[in-house]
Structure 1
Amino acid sequence: MARGWNSPRAWRWIALGVALLAVVLAIFRQPLADTMWPETRVQQLLDDGRKALQQGRLSAQDGSGARELFEAAAALDPDRSDAQQALALTGQAALNQARAHLAAGDYPAATAALELARQLQAPAAEIDPLAAALPRDAHERDSVEQLLHQAEAAQAEGRLDEGADSALPLYQRVLAVQPDRMHALEGRDEALSDLLAKATRNASSGDLAAAAALLKRVESYDPGHANLPSAKAALNGALERRSRQAERDLTRGQLKKAAEGFQQVLALGEDAVARQGLQRVLLLQTQEVARLAGDFHFEQAEQALAQARALAPDSAEVGAAARTLQRARAAQRSMEAPLPAAGRERRLKELLAQLDVAEAREQWLLPPGNSAYDRFKAAQALAPQDPRVKRAAARILPAARTCFEDNLRGNRLRAARTCLDAWQALAPTDAGQAPARRRLAQRWIAVGSERLGAGDTVFAAQALAQAQEIDGTTPEIRDFAERVRTAVP
C-alpha cells in the first residue's frame, strides 16, 4: 500500500487545495489587481470617463457618468493631474449643456446642468449669467414663452418693426432674458433679413432715405448680420447713381433738380462730390440772380435768390447776390423818377457820359446799376427816340462783340463771358450768340482739362461750372464732368 505523496489520499488533498485557490483567485481577482497594479485601473477609469464625456453622459447614478468615473480615478490616485483636468472639462461640458438647454427652453435640464457645473467648481463668472437667465418661477417661464409666441405671430403677419408689439422688439425682449434662446435668435435673423431685402429694394427704386433708415434699424438690432454688407453696398451704389444723375441735371441747366439730387446724397452723409456739385449749383444760381437783376427782371431774380438762399443762407455768394438785386432795384427807381424837360436833358447827358466811361472800362454788365448796359437802358428809358441814344446802341453792340472776341483770343474767359452777356442783353435775338456761347464753353473745357492734368481740381471744377452755365449742351461737357468727378478726392 502506497504512502506519502504517492498515495491517492494525498493527491485528493492536493486537488482540493488547488480548487480552493482557484475559487479565491476568481473572487478576489480585481481587488488584488487593483492592489498590485493600481496604475492600470486608474487609466481604465480615465478612458471610460473620456468616452462617457464624449457621449455627453456627464453624470449617472449607476456610476457610469463621466463625473463618477473621473472622481473614482482621482480617489485611487489623488496626485494624477489628468484626473483633475478631466473633472474640469466635465464642468465646462456641463456649462455648455446648460446653455443649449436654456436656448431650447428646457429649463429643468438647464438647472440640473448648472448644478453639476457648480459641484464641479466651474468658474462662477460663467455660471452666474446663465443662472440669471433662468426664469425665476413658472410665471416668468410662461411670460417668456408667451413673448416668443407673440413675436412669431407678428412675424407671420409681416409686422417686423412697426411698434412694441411687432416681431423684432418682442424677440429682443426674449433675448434680454435668455440671450441664447435659439428660436428667438433664428426668428430675429429671419426678420432682419426681410428688412434688409426691403432696404435693397428701396435703394434700387431711388428711395434712399427709406433704405438708409432700414439699415440703421437693422444695425441697432444686430450690427454683425450676414446680409448687412451687401445691403450697404446696394445703398452706396444707389447714392453714386443719384449723384451722377444730379451731375447730368446740372449739365442740362436744371438747377433745382440738380440741387435736390445732391441734397439727397448729402442727407445720408458727407460726400465730397455731392458737396462740390451743390456748391456749383449755388454759384450758378447767384450768377443767375445778377443777370436777372441787371435786366430788371426782379420777380425772377427774387425766385433765383430764394433758391440760392435755401441752399446756403449764410454764404458770401448769397449775400453778394442779394446786394446786387438791391442795387438794381435802386437803379430802376432812380430811372423811373419823373423829371422836367430840363432835368431830363441833364440826366440824359449824365447817363451818356457815364456810358462812355463804362464802355471804355469794359464794364458791360457789372457793377449792377453802374454798368454800360445799365446806363444805356436808363438813357433809353428817358429818351428812346433820341439820336444820341440810338447812336449809343449802334456803337456798344459791335463793341460788345469785339470785346468778346478779343478776350476769347487772349484766354481771358471771365471777361469774355461778361462781354457775351452784354451782347445778349443788347440783342437777345442775335443769331451769332449761340455759336459764340458754344465756343466760350469749349474754351473753358479746354483750359479746365489742361489744369486738371496738372492736378488743379479746384480750377477744373470751376471751369466745368462755367461751361455748364454758358452752354450746357456742349458735347464735350459730359466727358469732362466725369473726369472731374473721378479726380475729386
Structure 2
Amino acid sequence: MRPRGRREPVVGDLRGLRLDARAGPPGERPPVRPATRPQRWIIALAVAAALAATAALLRDPLAERMWPEARVHALTDDAAAALAHGHLSAPDGSGARELYEAARAIDPDQLAPRAGLARVADAALAQASASVDAGRFADAHAHLRLARELSIPRERADAVAGRLRGREATLAGLDGLVLQAESARAAGRLHGDDSAALPLYARVLALDPGRADALRGRDDALAALLQQARTDLRQGDLQAAATGIAAARGYDPGHVDLPDTEARLTEELDALRRRAAVDLAGGRIDAAVATWRRLQQFDPDDAGARDGLQQAAAALARQAQRQGADFRFAEADAILARARALAPDAAAVASAQSALERARQRHAQLQASSARPDRADRVPGLLRQAAEAEARGDLLTPPGDSAYDRLRAAQAIAPRDANVQRAVARLLPSARACFERQLSANDLARARRCLDAREALGESASAMTGDRRRLAQRWLAIGDERLGAGQLDAASAALASARAIDPRAPGIEEFQRRLRVASRG
C-alpha cells in the first residue's frame, strides 16, 4: 500500500526526463521510448481510415452479394431519410416512394417497405391539407393524388378533397366559367383544349358537383359530341368517331347516348376484323395486314389485331420456308423480311429462319456432293458412327463426334437418302429425352442445346411451343431468385434468356417491371 499523497510515475510523466542508455547499471537494457504525440495521431488516423474503408466496403456490391438483404435495408434507410426531409416522390427515383418501391420489388415479403409506403401516404395527405390551408391548390392536388395512389383510406382523402373544392370554388368565380362554357358550346367548340365547353364544365363541376346549369350544359354538349361521332361512323371516319367517343366517356361514362354509339363503333370494328380474317384465309396477306394496322390505330393494345399480325407473319414465314425448300433464296429472304417486320419475336419466323439456313446448307452440300460423287460412300460410315455415339449417350457432345454431328454430316451429303431420313427420325426422340433430362437436372444451358437440336432435326415449331415455355419459366424462376438476392445483373441476364426462348411466356412483362423498379433504386 502506497503512502497517502505519494504520486506514482506514469508514462506521461517521463516526457520531461532525459532518457540516456548510459545512465543504467551495466548490462541493463535501455528503456523503450514511449510514442510521441505526433506518432499517436498518425496511429489514430490510420485506424480511422481503416474503419472508413470497412464502412465503404459494406455498402458496395460486394456486401450485397455477401448479404442479400443489404440492398433492401440500404434502400429502406435512404427512403426513411427522404421521408424525414419531406422528399416524398421524384421522377429521378430519389423520393421516398420510389425508394420504398424499389426495396419492395427486390423482396416483396419484406414488411418495412410496405409500412414505409403507408407512412409516405400519410405524409402526402398531411402536405395536401397544409397546401389547401395555404392556398397552394396545385400542390394540394399533387399531394392528394400521391396519397390516393398509395391507397390512403378513401374517407380521409375525400375529406381533404372536399375542403380543396370549397376553397377553389370560393376563388374561381364559377358564374363566369359557366358563361364561357355556354359560349363555347354555342360555337361548336365542344372539346380539344381548355377553353372548349366540356373542359370548362368539368372545372365547374369539380368545384361544385351539384351545380344544375353546369350539369345541363355538359349533358347537351355530350349529346352533340356523340351525334357527331355517329355521323363520322356513317361516313367511314372511324378514327374521328373513336376519338369523340373516348372523349365523351372521359367526361361522363354514364351518358344516355354513349352505349348506343359505342355499340355502333364495336360493330364497325368487328366488321374490320372479319374482313381481315377473310383476306388472310384467301391469301391476301397485304390487305389483311393493312386492316389490322388500321385497328391498331384505334387501340394499340388490341389483342385481335396483334394476334392477326402474328398469323400474317406465320403465313409469310411458311411461304419463305417453301421458297427455301425449292432453293429460291432471294425470294425466301424477301418474304421472311416482311414476316420479321410484322412479328420479329414470333416462333414461326425463327423456325423459318432456321429452316432457310438448313436449306442453304443442303444446297451447298448437294452441289459439293455432285462435284465429288465419292463422298456418298461416307454415308454408311457416318450413320454407323452416329448410332455408336447415340448408344454411348453422346447425343450432342463432344463436338464433331456426337451422334447429332455425325448425322448432320450424313444429312448434308445425302439429304434424301432413306437411311439418313430414318436415322433422323430415330434420333429425334433421343433429343426430346435429352431436353427432359437436362431440364430435370436444372441444367438450362444444355436443355437449350437439346431444344436447338430438335429444331435442327426438323421438329415443328408448334410441337416445341410447350417446351419452350417451360424452359423460359425456369429462367424466370432463376431471375426471381437473383432479384431477391439483389443481384440485378444476373436477374437481367436470366430475363434475357427467358425472352430469347419464348418472348410471350407468362410473367415476362411483370418480372421486367419489377426489375426496372429495383434498378431505379
Q: TM-score, normalised by structure 2?
A: 0.37
Larger radius of gyration, structure 1 or 2?
A: 1
Q: TM-score, normalised by structure 1?
A: 0.40
Higher relative contact order (CA 8 A, sep 6+): 2
